[in-house]
A and B are shown apart, each in its own frame.
Chain A
Amino acid sequence: MDKILEVKDLHVDFDTYNGVVHAIRGVSFHLNAGETLAIVGESGSGKSITVRSILQLLAKNGTISKGEVLYHGDDLLQKSDKEMDKLRGNKISMIFQDPMTSLDPTMTIGKQVAEPLLIHNNVSKKDALKRAEEVLRLVGIPNPQARMNDYPHQFSGGQRQRIVIAIAIVDYPEILIADEPTTALDVTVQAQIIDLLKELQQKIGTSIIFITHDLGVVAGIADRVAVMYAGRLVEFGSVNDIFYNPQHPYTWGLLDSMPTLDTNESDRLNSIPGTPPNLLNPPKGDAFAPRNAYAMEIDEEQQPPFFKVSKHHYAATWLLHPNAPKVTPPASILNRFEKFKKLGGNVK
């Protein structure tokens, strides 16, 4: 499969009043053509910053201190803002989290959707608006012809997110970055938006990077999953790898805190104790160690490298080291391993 995007050893720092926050500390991943990669993690783990770095849409106090973002082998971090403008909204576009605030309140939606076309292509205003209308129909805005001249406040939250999606796909981007596109929506609308994204991916053949903290959403859309914690990836693999053969204790914690069909009504949902580390002074060892019931001494001392679990499945935990003691994951995770065996997987 073609890698259309590859992020290598990305480091992002933020200059703040209290000092330099090392928000991203060496993240590497790639995106294959036509697939959906989900990046999951709790708030503040650096998911959004990672993808904003791809488009170089960081806040003014943020700097990419190290790393490469290869788009078809071309390092985007070496490009000027002007060169990036040509890619943004054209080859790589983005869907934002909050549809209530992402649209310009004083511009008609027709114009907002047509805008990327007018920026990147040599088309007439009329043709651009016509195309915008088609795309609005494609994303499921009823009666788009009549609504082209309406303003954002005349639409519901779910409809606005459809409009935001229309803006992102109007120029048929190769890569679509969706930054928690369903977080601000209620559950039924969430499902509609996920279905819409899947449908659009089929129609226009775009690759998607999907950011979320909702594992339920991940299961519905992703081909591969990367789990992020405190500015680093801790585990990545296929959806089945992550859901049924998780290896990192953080992934265990995430999955354990999610209700499943097997959860009884009387069961309490588990949570991961503690809070993420302060990235003003990142820990020397594994950032998850203080919250990790399975932490060993080495976790405090040294950051674990990625250990290979299977061909496409890697996890950064010392538990996978040949010399590590055998530990028993939580019961719910053991159930998952059973399912993985049924799926034909090979559990360690």
Chain B
Amino acid sequence: MAKYILKRILYLFLTLFIIATITFFMMKMLPGTPFSNQNRMSAEQLKIVKAQYGLDQSVFVQYIRYIGGLLQGNLGTSFQFNNEPVTALIGQRLAPSMQIGAQAMVVGTIGGILLGALAAIRKNTWVDTLATFISILGLSIPSFVLAVLLQFYLAYKWKIYPVALWDNFQSSILPTLALSALPLGTVARFMRTEMVDVMSSDYIELAKSKGNSSWGVVAKHALRNSLIPVVTIIGPMAVSVMTGSMVVENIFSIPGIGEQFVKSITTNDYPTIMGLTIFYSFLLIIVYLIVDILYGLIDPRIRLGNGGKE
């Protein structure tokens, strides 16, 4: 197991390096410059500023310099955000994004598992139809549309939650709900399909023949076995939630990373774009690693380091 994780971490660095390289060159192809007041600067001034940020060198030299800095853990300083180091910038804005991201994943996954399980157990009844309807809504309504709807009804009309504010848990509820719709819908659909399959398998019949009650069968045998494919989609789902969060953060004025990401791209803030891309990639690779480890924990057949002794 330890050997496996070590290997995965090695791959992690390799992947990050490849991502950094591709992003760097793609970013350089973006139109525009980092200097919003460029046309008011003289050629002389522009040259000085460019030299200051090392932008007068060829793209390749810039790349080598950037990677060199990266290896030392230096993500550079932002052009836009008060010349702050990018690492500090991410650090400050990480907490709100992580909070609503994690909350949305937890709510969505658990809610989806319950909804899907319920639909499977009550297959072909109104419960099933309703659950399917909810999960299709969750899948098809974009998070920013849902965010606006929630804002309008729950905050503006009924005044239950603040419209756009970031201070306590109360203010994180609406963005969490908006973001959790997608994972909820996805997990519910996967869960239902898998559980319908599992419920008709031989070992469920055997579990029933042992004298388990219907709920006992579900709790002890059906749930865990149905979770296996659900775990595999948590990784890709985390990606959707993270990308979805960028717009949602904007709608609810949450001082999160997503908002900053959008801004850095529109202003050609190269170090911030790079820093955030690498950071997001790192996060996702870690999520995938966790998912793979979880997978082995739930399904003993693919448990690592145990070999395939038959």
> With A105-B225, A106-B224 in contact, do A96 and B206 touch (Cβ < 8 Å)?
yes
Q: Interface SS of chain B: helix, strand, loop or mixed?
A: helix
A104 and B225 contact, CB distance less than 8 A = yes
- CB within 8 A of A88: which of B209, B224, B299, B309? B209
Could you say which interface size class chain A belongs to?
20 to 34
**Cβ distance A87 to chain B, nearest Cβ, rounded Å:** 7
> With A153-B300, A153-B301, A154-B310 in contact, do A116 and B206 touch (Cβ < 8 Å)?
no
Complex Cα gap A151–B298 (Å): 12
Complex Cα gap A304–B90 (Å): 86
Complex Cα gap A116–B216 (Å): 12
- Residues 75-118 of chain A, each 1 if its beta carbon lies under 8 Å from chain B, else 0: 00000011001111110011011100111111100000001100
Is B240 engaged at the interface, CB distance under 8 Å to the other chain? no
Contacts of A104 in B (CB 8 A): 203, 206-207, 221, 225
Contacts of B213 in A (CB 8 A): 81-82, 85
Complex Cα gap A57–B217 (Å): 13
A102 and B206 contact, CB distance less than 8 A = yes
Is B210 engaged at the interface, CB distance under 8 Å to the other chain? yes
B301 and A116 contact, CB distance less than 8 A = no
Complex Cα gap A87–B211 (Å): 7
A115 and B210 contact, CB distance less than 8 A = yes
- List CB contacts (< 8 Å) of A119-139 with chain B: 119-120
* Smallest Cβ-Cβ distance to B223: which chain A residue: A106
Q: Could you list some 6 contacts between A and B, CB below 8 A?
A: A96-B206, A101-B201, A106-B300, A116-B211, A119-B211, A151-B301
Give the B-binding residues of A (Cβ under 8 A).
Answer: 55, 57, 81-82, 85-90, 93-94, 96-98, 101-107, 115-116, 119-120, 151, 153-154, 156, 164, 167
Give the A-binding residues of B (Cβ under 8 A).
Answer: 201-203, 205-214, 216, 220-221, 224-225, 228, 298-301, 309-310
Given A101-B203, A106-B300, 14 other A-B contacts at CB below 8 A? A57-B205, A57-B209, A81-B214, A85-B212, A86-B211, A87-B211, A89-B210, A94-B209, A101-B202, A104-B207, A104-B221, A106-B225, A115-B212, A119-B216
